Amino acid sequence: MRLILWAIGCLFAAIAAVQLIIEGMLAAFGGSWTRLLSVGDVFEQIGGPGTGAWLPSLVTDAPPWIPAIVVGAAFLYWGRFKRQSSRPYERASRRTG
């Protein structure tokens, strides 16, 4: 389960990285550092006009890479690898309390 959560987190982090690279390329080649797409625009494209109206303006005006970073970081945290101790007496004391 942890591997699945970690893989989903990596996917969202990669999506955010690609979006940041695209914005950087647009800014480097004569564009301005303004986002072309917001989360509200994504909701309208997927669900039709007015579907993003229930979201707060802070979320709808945000670029899509910000939620991708937040969701990716959450999944990476939930799927993090927990190292077990190599000493058997420490493992036994953790199980018993």
Q: Can you give the pLDDT at residue 78?
A: 87
Rounded to two decimals, the pTM is 0.61
**Amino acid sitting at position 90:** E
Distances from the Cα of 59 to the Cα of 7, 48, 62, 93, angstroms? 25, 17, 5, 46
Query: Is residue 92's pLDDT more than 60?
Result: no
Query: Is residue 33's pLDDT more than 60?
Result: no
Q: Can you give the pLDDT at residue 68?
A: 86
Please give the average per-residue pLDDT across 59-86, as a whole number: 80
Residue 94 pLDDT level (bands cut at 50, 70, 90): low
Query: Is residue 3's pLDDT more than 80?
Result: yes
